[in-house]
């Protein structure tokens, strides 16, 4: 099946893209021009969940916070790889089982390394 695409085949995509962008630009322009412009000190103040803001937003944050966040994402993504394996467990056979044992071993060795380094300990 040799299919050649002509530039005219993409015309509906470009029309839809143009309409979407036109709608976005039009609504932004119209709402900006006809919307109310009532500024006040209270309205222009920083607002965070109804709690008055305190201090400076540029205070340094502990690197532990970022390490925990990255580790969470890392282990969460690795767990996602287990779902397709679980669905196809029977069809993968012994080779698929051994590959998952290897994968889990590497995952747990990384978790053991993290525990030994003390990354998860809060001070």
Mean pLDDT of 50-63: 76
Q: Are 114 and 120 in contact (CB under 8 A)?
A: yes
| pLDDT tens string 57-79 | 777 888 888 888 888 888 888 88
Res. 26 pLDDT band, cuts 50 70 90: very high
Domain harbouring 104, CATH code: 1.20.58.1610
Any idea which residue has 């029977």 for tokens? Answer: 90
Task: Identify the pLDDT of residue 16.
Answer: 97
In a domain, 43, yes or no: yes
In a domain, 123, yes or no: no
* Phi, psi (rounded to 5 degrees) for 48: -135, 95
In a domain, 12, yes or no: yes
Residue 98 domain boundaries: 7-51+60-117
Higher pLDDT, 14 or 3: 14
Q: Is the pLDDT of residue 1 over 70?
A: no
Task: Identify the pLDDT of residue 82.
Answer: 87
In a domain, 65, yes or no: yes
In a domain, 14, yes or no: yes
Picking from 13-17, 46-50, 80-84, 97-101, which range would have the lowest pLDDT averaged per residue?
A: 46-50
User: How many structural domains comprise the chain?
Assistant: 1
Mean pLDDT of 22-42: 90
In a domain, 70, yes or no: yes
Query: What are the CA-CA distances from residue 62 to residues 54, 65, 68, 78, 122 (Å)?
Result: 18, 6, 11, 25, 11
In a domain, 39, yes or no: yes
In a domain, 107, yes or no: yes
Mean pLDDT of 77-84: 86
């Amino acid at each position: 099946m040799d299919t050649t695409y002509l530039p005219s085949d993409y015309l509906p995509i470009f029309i839809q893209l143009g309409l979407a962008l036109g709608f976005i630009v039009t609504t932004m322009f119209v709402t900006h021009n006809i919307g109310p412009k009532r500024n006040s000190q209270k309205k222009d103040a920083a607002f965070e969940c109804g709690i008055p803001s305190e201090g400076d937003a540029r205070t340094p944050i502990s690197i532990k916070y970022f390490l925990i966040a990255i580790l969470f994402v890392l282990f969460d993504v690795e767990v996602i790889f287990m779902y397709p394996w679980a669905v196809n467990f029977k069809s993968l056979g012994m080779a698929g089982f051994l590959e998952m044992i290897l994968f889990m071993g590497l995952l747990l060795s990384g978790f053991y390394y993290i525990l030994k380094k003390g990354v998860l300990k809060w001070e």
